[in-house]
Amino acid sequence: MKIFNENELVNWMKLTRVPKLGPKKIKDLLEIYKNIDNIVLTSSEELIRTRLFNQDMMKEWEKLKKASNENFYKVIHECKENKIQIVAFFDSEYPDSLRRIPYPPLTLFLKGDTFLLKTLKVAIVGTRKANEEAKKWAFEKARIFAENDITVVSGGAIGIDASAHKGTLELSKGKTICVLGSGFFKMYPKENISLFEEIGKRGLLVSEHLPNFPGSRISLIQRNRITSGLSNVIIVVASGTHGGAMVQIKIAFEQRIPIFCPKLSLNLEPNEGLRQVIDEWGGKETDDVYEIIALLNRNEKTRMKNQVTLSQFA
């Protein structure tokens, strides 16, 4: 399904705010009613009979339908003015890898080079409280990935995230994707605003939030599923046993994404969490990112070969 006009997009943004109405249920609704506008015009009684809504969901949907469209149109126009693309879950531009994760974002806001969503990607993540050696490691390895046409994905936080983004941008051809836990007009943290602006020009900014959303503790955690969900491989550079980096790796493990970390002998601190990554989530120690690049290229060749094989039976 492609959302073609502003009215459909407003109705989409309203529909996706109904609690417990995820992608599967919305897909079922679209199979029944063919488009968003028909869903809006369908009576509450009929929607209840589909068993895709319960009474509480229906109350919320009725409130949303009656809510003013003005703020939603304002969002759409502000996005156009600021070259922000709005991509719905069923749009062809929506990344396939995100469709396969648990609880995928229903709407993405994108600013920058959207072609990067189709490239090979490695996520480089870690704590905000990393030592200088750990930040230097992230910077240098990100630069190597950039030299080999691998897109680096991270979350824009101070510490390891920022070092990974900066290492990529050190090269004129380096490409990086930053997944924000806030909207584009309230980017967090403020210390990295200039970095975000550069990524918006040379790389890609991604958010699942309306542009004026300031972010929250929960949204910063939720963005982790997108960071790893977009990526083919993830590297955790430094982490304690608790915190956002460990949440990120647990999510990546559940998404079945290969996990790597620097060798413990390098003493990139804090590294207590890396031991847990290795013991509990199958993380592999490495100081040679070329083996990760080789893995990415092998997997991509296999994927392309399988794609060609499947097309023969289409």
The CATH number of whichever domain residue 166 belongs to comes to 3.40.50.450
Name the helix (H) or strand (E) containing 61.
helix 55-66
Residue 64's identity, in one-letter code, is: L
| Residue 259 domain-assigned (yes or no) | yes
> What tokens does 286 get?
């490495």
| Residue 304 domain-assigned (yes or no) | no
Same domain, 67 and 121: no
Same domain, 76 and 115: no
Same domain, 40 and 116: no
Q: Domain range for residue 58?
A: 6-81
| Residue 151 domain-assigned (yes or no) | yes
What's the CA dihedral at 287, 204, 187, 156 to 10 degrees?
0
Domain count, the chain: 2
Paired strand residues for 261: 285
Averaged pLDDT score across all residues of the chain: 93
Model confidence over 295-307: pLDDT tens digits?
999 988 887 777 6
| Residue 276 domain-assigned (yes or no) | yes
Q: Which of 42, 60, 81 is the last residue of a domain?
A: 81
β-pairing verdict for 233-236 and 259-262? parallel
CATH of the domain at 63: 1.10.150
Distance, in Å, from the CA atom of 179 to the CA atom of 254, rounded to the nearest integer, reads: 19
Please, are residues 257 and 233 in contact by the beta-carbon 8 Å criterion?
yes
pLDDT of residue 4: 66
Same domain, 197 and 123: yes
Tell me how far CA of residue 8 lies from CA of 1, 192, 203, in angstroms: 11, 35, 29
Mean pLDDT calculated for residue range 202-220: 96
pLDDT of residue 310: 46
Q: Does the structure show a pLDDT above 60 at 57?
A: yes
Same domain, 43 and 156: no
Q: Does the structure show a pLDDT above 90 at 187?
A: yes
Model confidence over 156-170: pLDDT tens digits?
999 999 999 999 999
Same domain, 23 and 139: no
Question: What's the whole-model pTM score?
Answer: 0.93
pLDDT of residue 301: 85
What percent of the chain clears pLDDT 70, i.e. is strictly above it? 96
Distance, in Å, from the CA atom of 119 to the CA atom of 309, rounded to the nearest integer, reads: 21
